[in-house]
Structure 1
Amino acid sequence: MKIAPLAAAVILGLTGTAALAQAVNTDWYIAPTVSYSINDDSRVKNHGWGTGLVLGKVLDDRWNVEAGGQYMQFDGKNDEQGSLSVDALYFFNRNPDFAPYATFGLGFVREGYSDTNHNDNLLAKAGLGFTRQLSENVDFRADARYQTHANKAGPKRLGDWVMSVGVNYHFGGKTQAPAPYVAAPALVPVPEIVVAAPPPPPPPAPAPRFEKSTLSATELFAFDSAELRMPQPKLDEIANALGSSSEINDVVITGYTDRIGSAKYNQKLSERRALSVKNYLTSKGIDANRLKAQGKGEANPVVVCTDKKRPALIKCLEPNRRVEVENITIERRVQ
């Protein structure tokens, strides 16, 4: 049975994607599946069908653990199999459109179901797969796994390729977005008699003041990346201002993300992005002791969006993905 082309295609498909962030539900999920098998050469038929049910838990941004059962018919009632197993899934990324993973697990398998014609053995399996987000709580899943176990009747060991598709239904939802700010009604002005006053003296020239610079994360970074795009003229301008004013200290660089993704992942991403901006400024000769980098994840959103479709939601939330640089003294000239 030639399976090398199939395995190579799966591996190329899994490694050919960029690492993007997915909205990860860090909770429990259930996954019904249907399977097609390419059977061991020792079996009567060269293919079979099956069904399965999995209970899973998202542990963090990289790992899932699953426990479940599977029933396979390789040759009708003449060759059937039931198994229970525990599997670990390692995700290379959490891209909502294509999140590849590697999986491996151990379990118990029974070949045949009659009282006199069955054998029980330990089962080992490993494979590759991917998920694709269909909605906030539902993912499509597909994988190919090679499973093998000892055999007490006939050949000493059986090995089958099992391709499965199904859906993951997550039992929890994401944290609700903060309620939009509603401004208090404006006061109605009361007419009053105004006595003409002598013209005021001309205002003094504006003194230097502290100012906050807000930089769009879309201009600074690729989606889900903390690596700066090049060139960065706005960061160069900030570096020049700091370089010409050595008395400016305690400059705070704060990274923010949108609400797509887990809070833990977004916090880390915002910290990495703030640190990238700090490293860029230090590479331009700014003393690192004058700079402080911090991340605030999903906090302090600029906009609130309710779009259902993911591309529109990502576009709408773009202002929330930003880096703010505060406490820069800039002199504004009167035009």
Structure 2
Amino acid sequence: MNNFKQISLAAAILCCATSGSVFAQAAQPAQVVPIFDYNPSWYIAPTVNGMYPDTGFGVEQHGEGGGLRLGKPISESWDIQLGTSYARARNNGTTYQQNLLGVDALYMFSRDTFRPFLLVGAGAQEDRLSSSVAGTSGYAPYVNAGLGFQVSLNDQWSLQADFRRVHGYLRDNDFSISRNSNNYLMVGINYAFDKSPTRPVAVAPTPEPAPIIAVITPPPAPTPPPAPRFEKISLSSTELFSFDKSDLKMPQPKLDEIAAALNKNTQVNNVVISGYTDRIGSDKYNQKLSERRANAVKDYLVGKGIDAGRLSAVGKGKSDPVVVCTQTKRPALIDCLEPNRRVEVEQITIEQRVN
């Protein structure tokens, strides 16, 4: 009788947790998703520059300057940027200046929060070299190549930094060199004129779970074992882990109740522990985080005496969200997406006798 009471109490707790998860999902009649996986809006990109000039100009000190570019994503993998930049270096009374006007193509390796890229470009350059006794200037075409990254701050703002080498072809001029290679470090901020367009997508409501009915039979007449019941327990990630972490908080009373029920009912097998994350971050990172969280719950139950062969842990990343959020500020978005960060323990078969 005592064993039965303990099993009944654990089953009631698990059913309540499951019902709360279902009701939260059914309360969302529709969701809004981006039309593109990236923001296709034009953006403006002011920069500050550091220049390391070619030694052939006789100016060995680094210089500084600024620039302004206009950019646009044209596909999932490519951005274009066109604009101008200026830099100046001085050394022992000699001043070297360079103006660049051109267009760059950026190959984006990712459209997540952190977006590394390679760039190639071409354009026209103006070089000026002056001192207290003479001055020289000239125009030439150039090509450049480099690498850099963007970091998204929100839907419209992002940071950009890149290192590039500008190779100019100096022809028919008064400089002592016919070619030059200047190195630039450019850091700036990008502002998109529009937010990424979205469209509503209907979500079918989730049906309520079927009620569990206990069949009462008077003892001591023998009764056949009841049909197995498959139950799903949804545990809030906030109760289990800190944000973006996979180490369990302590204590864990709900996991202790599940462990006690499994220890009392050794016939319960094939228990699947599924870890989920929210949509913040890359798919690869979220998949790994959900696997670590599921394994953390499994290891906890094993530590309570449960045979590891009865348990399996899987990570499902940011799939199957129970809520959809459109907040633009990161703290509010993290709070809204809390129900998506969860661990589900499912396919538990519990045989019980009700007196």
Q: TM-score range by the shorter chain?
A: 0.5 to 0.7
For residue 67 of structure 1, the aligned residue among 80, 83, 93 is 80
For residue 319 of structure 1, the aligned residue among 314, 339, 345 is 339
For residue 161 of structure 2, the aligned residue among 117, 139, 144 is 144
CA contact (8 A) 1:268 1:297 kept: no
Aligned positions of 1:183-222 closer than 5 A: 211-222=231-242
What do the CA deviations read for 1:126-181 (whole angstroms, capped 9, x no partner)? Answer: 34553311xxxx23122333322233444632223322222246775467475595
For residue 99 of structure 2, the aligned residue among 80, 84, 88 is 80
Aligned positions of 1:99-248 closer than 5 A: 99=113, 102-112=116-126, 117-127=138-148, 130-133=151-154, 138-153=155-170, 154=175, 156-168=180-192, 172-173=196-197, 176=200, 211-225=231-245, 227-231=246-250, 233=252, 234-248=254-268
Shift in Å, 1:51: 1.8
CA contact (8 A) 2:270 2:312 kept: yes
Q: 1:52 to 1:314 in 2, by over 3 A?
A: same
What do the CA deviations read for 1:245-301 (whole angstroms, capped 9, x no partner)? Answer: 321112122334446567887667545543443354345554444234443844262
Letter in 1 for 2:83: Q
Q: 1:298 to 1:69 in 2, by over 3 A?
A: same
Q: 1:142 to 1:290 in 2, by over 3 A?
A: same
If the length of structure 1 is used for normalisation, what is the TM-score? 0.61
C-alpha separation in 1, matches of 2:162 and 2:143: 16
C-alpha separation in 1, matches of 2:200 and 2:303: 39
Q: 1:316 to 1:72 in 2, by over 3 A?
A: closer
Equivalent position of 1:3 in the other structure: none
C-alpha separation in 1, matches of 2:206 and 2:349: 32
C-alpha separation in 2, matches of 1:307 and 1:159: 41
Identity of aligned residues (%): 33
Equivalent position of 1:16 in the other structure: none
Larger Rg: 2
RMSD: 4.7
Q: 1:315 to 1:108 in 2, by over 3 A?
A: same
**50-59 or 256-265, which moves further after superposition?**
256-265
CA contact (8 A) 2:80 2:105 kept: yes
Equivalent position of 2:297 in the other structure: 277
Equivalent position of 1:249 in the other structure: 269
C-alpha separation in 2, matches of 1:170 and 1:264: 28
C-alpha separation in 1, matches of 2:206 and 2:297: 34
CA contact (8 A) 1:26 1:262 kept: no
Equivalent position of 1:15 in the other structure: none
Shift in Å, 1:54: 2.5
Q: 1:182 to 1:148 in 2, by over 3 A?
A: closer
User: 3-state DSSP class of the match of 1:277?
Assistant: helix
Q: 1:83 to 1:179 in 2, by over 3 A?
A: same
User: 3-state DSSP class of the match of 1:108?
Assistant: strand
C-alpha separation in 2, matches of 1:329 and 1:300: 25
C-alpha separation in 2, matches of 1:121 and 1:306: 44
Q: Say which structure, 1 or 2, has more relative contact order (CA 8 Å, 6+ apart).
A: 2
If the length of structure 2 is used for normalisation, what is the TM-score? 0.58
CA contact (8 A) 1:34 1:166 kept: yes
C-alpha separation in 1, matches of 2:74 and 2:289: 23
What do the CA deviations read for 1:164-220 (whole angstroms, capped 9, x no partner)? Answer: 22224677546747559599xxxxxxxxxxxxxxxxxx9869x89654332111122
CA contact (8 A) 2:150 2:158 kept: yes
User: 3-state DSSP class of the match of 1:112?
Assistant: strand
Shift in Å, 1:34: 1.6
Equivalent pairs counted in the alignment come to 277
Q: 1:291 to 1:175 in 2, by over 3 A?
A: farther
Q: 1:311 to 1:120 in 2, by over 3 A?
A: same
User: 3-state DSSP class of the match of 1:299?
Assistant: coil
What do the CA deviations read for 1:81-138 (whole angstroms, capped 9, x no partner)? Answer: 12333334567x95xxxx555544232242139xx943223312234553311xxxx2
Q: 1:219 to 1:129 in 2, by over 3 A?
A: same
C-alpha separation in 1, matches of 2:269 and 2:257: 17
